[in-house]
Amino acid sequence: MRMLFKMAATGIVLLCASVTTFAAESDVTLRIGSYGGTFTAVQKKFVGDLFTERTGIKVEYIDASPSTHLAKLVAARGREAPYDLVYLDGDVQNQAMSAGVLAKVDPRIVTNLKFVYPEILNKEGYSPGVILTSIAIAYNAEEFKSHGIPVPKSWADLWDPRLAGHVSVPSIENVMGRVFIIVAGKMVGAKETALDAAIDKIASLKAASYYVSSTALEAKFQSKDVWIAPWINGRAWGMALHGQPIEFVMPKEGGYADVGTLDVTAGSTHKAEAQAFLNFMLEPIPQLSLPYELKYGPANSLLASVLKAYPELSRQFPASPDDLAHLNQVDWGKFWPQYPHLLDLWNHKLLNQ
């Protein structure tokens, strides 16, 4: 794995030449809305701290869900934003763009845009995808084996009666929960623009819990209260690689693609510094921290040949746009107009069970 970093260093030489320079001792502190947990720890080590060493600009991470970050940005609209940059899920970025709380990328500063896969560039000029992820099924292989339950092969297997009381469902507050509504809608033949029946289908699961954060689900898996859940690839593989009996599988109907973005906020008072941070995030070493530490795919196309040499690593995440293309895509433009109604149904039919 060390060789992987050495190989990527060749690309770093090209990229560093275009980095915007700042005073070695800066009084600027960039505030970054982040996902939290292991993600923030890795970003601090491989991105924030290295950026500070290079520029003198300090970095502060503020953890919450993307939806919470968006709500805070909307509440502060017209005033200084609570963040200079914010990590968002792709579907939440669309909402943030509509709300007018994001700034477009400045290509004069973010010169590494030319290395980003064209498929994940934002057509309206906002942050490209900087993280490639997939959503499928995670399960406890030991519990399945000890109870004689076959390996899950379909989304429908979450409704197996033998799993009653041991299924956790992601909250509608996070992208995994919103994707699961799409999944349930397809199972019952609902239209993408009318997903009421999907909520009824999820309610029929009588889930043991509705997790808001991956950290909460990890605890449920560790305690063996939960045996199966729709989840994101990086967190499931993270548990597996730390010795937990968790496996991550793509159902026969396919998993779902998602991208994470890192957007400069419209209300930032340090936009040039924030744009420089985004540019740095797209360099090879910060990008390699994603597959190496988090099992998420990088956006920088220079790394494609590097990752191809490590198939055991690359199979744990979408390693290229081709990998994303083999996953289901969601038309969030059809989903979000229904969201207030679906949220009401979710609260009434699921949380009040």
For residue 26, pLDDT beyond 80: no
The closest of 76, 26, 70 to 51, measured between CA atoms, is 26
CA–CA gap between residue 13 and residue 318 (Å, rounded)? 26
What fold characterizes domain 133-256+329-349? D-Maltodextrin-Binding Protein; domain 2 (3.40.190)
Q: Where are the alpha helices (DSSP H) in the chain?
A: 2-16, 37-43, 49-55, 66-75, 90-99, 141-146, 175-187, 196-203, 214-222, 233-241, 271-281, 284-289, 304-308, 311-314, 321-325, 332-335, 339-349
CA–CA gap between residue 40 and residue 130 (Å, rounded)? 15
For residue 78, pLDDT beyond 90: no
Query: What pTM value is reported for the model?
Result: 0.87
Question: 2-131+259-322 with 133-256+329-349: one CATH topology?
Answer: yes
Token digits of residue 24: 């070695």
For the structural domain made of 2-131+259-322, what CATH number should be given? 3.40.190.10
Q: What is the pLDDT of residue 18?
A: 52
Mean pLDDT, the chain, as a whole number?
Answer: 92
Q: What is the pLDDT of residue 54?
A: 93
- Percent of the chain clearing pLDDT 90 (strictly above): 83
pLDDT band, very low/low/confident/very high, at 324 (cuts 50, 70, 90): confident
- Reduced to 3 states (helix: H, G, I; strand: E, B; else coil), residue 243 is coil
Residue of higher predicted confidence among 119 and 14: 119
The model's pLDDT over 223-280, given as tens digits with 9 standing for 90+, comes to 999 999 999 999 999 999 999 999 999 999 999 999 999 999 999 999 999 999 999 9
pLDDT band, very low/low/confident/very high, at 152 (cuts 50, 70, 90): very high
Q: What is the pLDDT of residue 3?
A: 56
Q: What is the pLDDT of residue 325?
A: 86
For residue 38, pLDDT beyond 90: no
For the chain, the structural domain boundaries read: 2-131+259-322, 133-256+329-349
